[in-house]
Amino acid sequence: MTALKEELKRQIIEVLNLEDITPADIQDEEVLFGEGLGLDSIDALELIVLMDKTYGIKLSDPKKGRDIFQSVETMAAYISENRTK
């Protein structure tokens, strides 16, 4: 799980072009959208692509995405239960 979370942080930084931020700057429980990292609606869509491409998880309900993308912690939990690759 720890490895998955580290991997996720690296991927989030890469696909969302979060310059000047390192994996160590993102806390497991930190809120990704709004306050926290300040991600927006396009970032959320990018995370949906990330889930599909890297973990074989297809999310089509944006509302469901909101719960899953709350933090690295919630993302990792969802991925470990639902990944197909």
Partner 1 sequence: MLEKITIQKSCTIEQHRIVVDDMLVWSSATDMPFSDFAKDAFHHLDIDYPKFYKMDALSKLAFLAAEYILRGEDKDELALVLANKSGSLDTDIKHQESIQDTENYYPRPATFVYTLANICAGEISIRHGLQTENAFFIAEEFPEETIFAYADYLLQSNKAKRVLCGWVEYFQEDYRALFYIF
Partner 2 sequence: MTFDPIYIHGMNCVTPLGMDLLSNWTQLLMGNGGIIRHDVGRIKNSYVAKFISEEAAGLLTPVQDSTLLERMLFTAAKPIASKYVLTPRTALVLSTTKGNVSLLQDGRMADAQLNVLANKMAEALGFQTQPIVVSHACVSGLLALSVAKRLIQIGQYDDAVVLAGDVVSEFVVSGFQAFQAMSPFPCKPFDKDRAGVSLGEAAACVYVSKEKGEFKILGEAAINDANHISGPSRTGEGLVQSVLRAGREASIDIKDIDFISAHGTATLYNDEMEAVAFHRLGLQDVPIHSLKGYYGHTLGASGLLETVIALKAMQEEVLLPTLGFEELGVSQPVNIIREAGYRPLTRLLKTASGFGGSNAAMLVERCG
Tokens of 14: 């890469």
Tokens of 4: 């998955």
Ranges within 5-24 binding partner 2 (CB under 8 A): none
Q: Which one of partner 1, partner 2, none is in contact with 83 (Cβ closer than 5 to 8 A by kind)?
A: none
Q: What 8-state DSSP symbol labels residue 63? A: H
DSSP letter string, 64-79: HHHHHTT-HHHHHHHH
Q: Does 42 bind partner 2 (CB under 8 A)?
A: yes
Which residue in 14, 49, 80, 83 binds partner 2 (CB under 8 A)?
49
**Sign of the alpha-carbon dihedral angle for 52, 58, 63, 66:** negative
Interface positions with partner 1 (CB under 8 A) = 15-20, 38, 42-43, 45-46, 49, 52-53
Q: Which one of partner 1, partner 2, none is in contact with 16 (Cβ closer than 5 to 8 A by kind)?
A: partner 1
Rg (C-alpha) for the chain, rounded Å, is 12
Q: Which one of partner 1, partner 2, none is in contact with 30 (Cβ closer than 5 to 8 A by kind)?
A: none
